[in-house]
């Protein structure tokens, strides 16, 4: 890693609530830039993949900016990444929103629609819901370490992440008649299905922990 | 318990309480039946107050942008969202994918569309293709006709369309819209309670979440609507702006009556 690169880069690939995200991350670090430039991303100590969009449009957004290889290479160095919502989903092998689409394949698995539920829960899943650890102790030494079990965070999605390996699941959330992965992890790479930047003070805690984590590992 | 049956029927998930900010120029305004607008406060101050009081989201609608084909004031939106760490749904004069991108770059997390989509339904499909269903809400302003139908209005409740609101909602859902914001124009701002007939009709046909808007009156009137209609979310303006009760008062009241809210 080159010295002097901007510490944290929010990757601008055309879809994403960039203002909200930069505003929240900016509470914890000034060393932050929004960029679509491959060099800037290469030289970052950590990147954040935002996302409010469809899987297909998201991958197309990365492709036209020639960022697919950049981000995959970044992930191979095990520098910290935080993917949010679509940004987390794109890290999987494949997605199925508007066709079968190749993802970044940083974490093995797929992104599939919610199944039909027997109860009254509707899709998209929009609103505040609880997150809890996949199993006891799994949040230790992760960006979830300061998060309370069953804390409410804000979800807005129609598709869910299904990792191939259950070891990649950090947190679960119950919706309809199922539990789905709400936080995933592989090495220093994290993905949140919910929006920590829009989940009140509790959500900001997760961002704060990610920034602290970058400072230790950067 | 009297309410048992209705609670069982509804989803157990938290009902969202969403203050609605109708924006005109630099101000939050509020009228009755979407008319006779009065200035009620500063958008930045009100949004921050509602955020601190437990708002689950903010609904931010520029109510004249569409009417005058005016450009949206993105700088004002930025100032509002800067201190708000719950989602903001933004609407008013949105008529291109570029408008959506710009709004998301200025503090929006979800987008509400109304007038432009009524005249160009294909815009819904385009927006959903790029931003996903979950990002695109359809705002419908409806008024009851003499023959008992619900007619869709555009441009902040000013223009008739002859379009049946229920049919329009069905169509928009088939085009991929991810959420419905339904406002009864006759109830808006009157604080007499929601229109239960309209709310029930919309919720009955909608597989996507519904935000019920227009008419919040007494705490009891809100509870009555929740009991009868089981909405995913409730939006209100006048009762919060004029301090009839606070967002946290409403949430505690619903909680005491057996409904889940985020406290």
Q: What is the pLDDT of residues B113-141, one digit of tens each?
A: 999 999 999 999 999 999 999 999 999 99
Angle between helices A18-25 and B74-81 (to 10 degrees): 40
As a whole-number percent, the residues of chain A with pLDDT over 90 amount to 92
Residue of chain A nearest B177, judged by CA positions? A124
* Each residue's pLDDT tens digit, B211-253: 999 899 999 999 999 999 999 999 999 999 999 999 999 999 9
| pLDDT, tens only, B166-201 | 999 999 999 999 999 999 999 988 899 999 999 999
Residue A110 has pLDDT above 90, yes or no: yes
A20 with B78: Cβ contact below 8 A? no
> Touching check for B129 and chain A: CB below 8 Å?
yes
| Residue-level pLDDT at A2 | 43
Residue predicted with more confidence, A10 or B12: A10
Q: Identify the residue with better confidence: A45 or A2.
A: A45
Q: Say if the Cβ atoms of A124 and B56 lie within 8 Å.
A: no
ipTM: 0.93
Q: How far is B62 from chain A (nearest CA, A)?
A: 19
Domains annotated for chain A, with CATH where assigned, are: 8-217 (3.40.50.880)
Most confident of A52-56, A87-91, B10-14, B62-66: A87-91
The closest alpha carbon to B94, from B74, B76, B78, B111, belongs to B111
Number of other CB atoms surrounding residue A166 within 10 Å: 9
Whether residue B8 has pLDDT greater than 50: no
pLDDT of residue B155: 87
Question: For residue A172, what pLDDT band results from cuts at 50, 70 and 90?
Answer: very high
At residue A106, the 3 state secondary structure works out as: coil
What is the average per-residue pLDDT within B83-103?
95
CA distances to A30, A97, B103 from B88, rounded to whole Å, are 24, 24, 10
A130 touches chain B (CB under 8 A): no
Q: With 60 as the cut, is the pLDDT of residue B9 above it?
A: no
Query: What pLDDT shows up at residue B11?
Result: 57
> In chain B, what are the domain boundaries?
16-257
Collect all residues of chain A within an 8 Å Cβ-Cβ radius of residue B107.
Answer: 17, 19-20, 23
- Give the model confidence (pLDDT) of A53-92 as tens digits: 999 999 999 999 999 999 999 999 999 999 999 999 999 9
CB contact under 8 A, A157 and B134: yes
A127 touches chain B (CB under 8 A): yes
Query: CA of B68: how far to CAs of A151, B24, B112, B128, B155, in Å?
Result: 44, 11, 18, 26, 9
**pLDDT at residue A73, as a whole number:** 98
Pick the residue of B10, B13, B101 with the most A CBs within 10 A to test the interface with A by mutation. B13
Does the pLDDT value for residue B10 go beyond 90? no
**What band does A118 get if pLDDT is binned at 50, 70 and 90?**
confident
Contact A201 B85 (CB under 8 A): yes
Question: How much is the pLDDT for B143?
Answer: 96
CA distance A58 to chain B (A): 8
- A178 vs A121, A124, A211, A218, B138, CA distance in Å? 11, 14, 32, 37, 28
Q: Is the pLDDT of residue B2 over 70?
A: no
CA distance B89 to chain A (A): 11
- Write out pLDDT tens, residues A8-62: 999 999 988 999 999 999 999 999 999 999 999 999 999 999 989 999 999 999 9
* C-alpha to C-alpha distance for A131 and A148, rounded to whole angstroms: 9
| Beta-carbon separation of B109 and A17 below 8 A | yes
B52 part of contact set with chain A, CB < 8 Å: no
Measure in Å the smallest separation between the Cα of B107 and chain A Cα atoms: 5
Report the pLDDT value the prediction gives residue B12, as an integer from 0 to 100: 74
* Cβ of residue A24 closer than 8 Å to a chain B Cβ: yes
**What's the whole-number average pLDDT of chain A?**
95
pLDDT per position as a tens digit, A184-197: 999 999 999 999 99
Least confidently predicted of A47-51, A142-146, B61-65, B150-154: B61-65
Strand order, beta sheet including A151-157: A32-35, A8-11, A46-49, A81-84, A189-192, A178-186, A169-175, A125-133, A151-157
pLDDT tens, position by position, B33-57 = 878 899 999 999 999 999 999 999 9
Topology classification of domain B16-257: TIM Barrel (3.20.20)
Paired with B140 in beta bridges are: B182
Residue of A nearest to B18 (CA): A127
The answer to whether B104 contacts chain A (CB < 8 Å) is yes
């Amino acid at each position: 890693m080159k010295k002097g690169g901007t510490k944290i880069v929010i990757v601008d690939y055309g879809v994403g609530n960039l203002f909200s995200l930069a505003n929240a991350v900016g509470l914890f670090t000034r060393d932050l830039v929004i960029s679509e430039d491959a060099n800037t991303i290469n030289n970052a100590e950590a990147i954040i993949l935002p996302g409010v969009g469809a899987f297909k449009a998201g991958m197309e957004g990365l492709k036209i900016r020639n960022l697919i290889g950049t981000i995959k290479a970044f992930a191979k160095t095990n520098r910290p990444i935080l993917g949010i919502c679509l940004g987390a989903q794109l890290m999987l092998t494949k997605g199925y929103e508007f066709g079968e689409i190749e993802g970044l394949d940083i974490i093995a698995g797929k992104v599939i629609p919610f199944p039909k539920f027997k109860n009254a829960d509707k899709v998209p899943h929009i609103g505040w819901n609880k997150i809890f650890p996949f199993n006891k102790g799994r949040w230790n030494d992760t960006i979830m370490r300061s998060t309370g079990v069953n804390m409410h965070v804000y979800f807005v999605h129609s598709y869910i992440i299904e990792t191939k390996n259950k070891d990649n699941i950090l947190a679960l959330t119950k919706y309809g008649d199922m539990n789905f992965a709400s936080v995933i992890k592989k090495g220093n790479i994290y993905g949140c299905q919910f929006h920590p930047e829009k989940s009140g003070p509790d959500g900001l805690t997760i961002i704060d922990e990610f920034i602290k984590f970058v400072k230790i590992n950067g | 318990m009297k309410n048992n049956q209705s609670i069982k029927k509804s989803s157990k998930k938290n009902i969202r309480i969403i203050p609605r900010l109708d924006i005109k120029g630099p101000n939050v305004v509020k009228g009755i039946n979407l008319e006779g607008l009065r200035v009620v406060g500063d958008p930045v101050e009100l949004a921050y107050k509602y955020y601190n009081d437990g708002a689950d989201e903010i609904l931010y609608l520029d109510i004249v942008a569409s009417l005058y084909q005016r450009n949206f004031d993105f700088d004002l939106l930025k100032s509002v969202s800067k201190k708000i760490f719950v989602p903001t749904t933004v609407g008013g004069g949105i008529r291109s994918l570029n408008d959506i991108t710009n709004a998301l770059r200025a503090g929006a997390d979800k987008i509400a569309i109304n007038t432009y989509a009524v005249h160009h339904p294909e815009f819904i499909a385009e927006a959903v293709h790029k931003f996903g269903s979950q990002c695109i809400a359809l705002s419908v302003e409806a008024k009851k006709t003499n023959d008992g139908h619900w007619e869709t209005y555009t441009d902040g409740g000013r223009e008739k369309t002859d379009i049946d609101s229920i049919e329009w909602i069905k169509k928009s859902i088939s085009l991929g819209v991810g959420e419905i914001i339904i406002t009864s124009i006759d109830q808006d701002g009157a604080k007499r309670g929601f229109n239960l007939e309209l709310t029930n009709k919309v919720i009955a046909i909608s597989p996507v979440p519904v935000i019920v808007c227009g008419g919040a009156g007494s705490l009891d009137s809100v509870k009555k609507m929740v009991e009868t209609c089981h909405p995913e979310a409730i939006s209100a303006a006048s009762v919060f702006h004029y301090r009839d009760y606070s967002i946290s008062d409403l949430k505690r009241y619903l909680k005491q009556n057996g409904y889940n809210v985020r406290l």
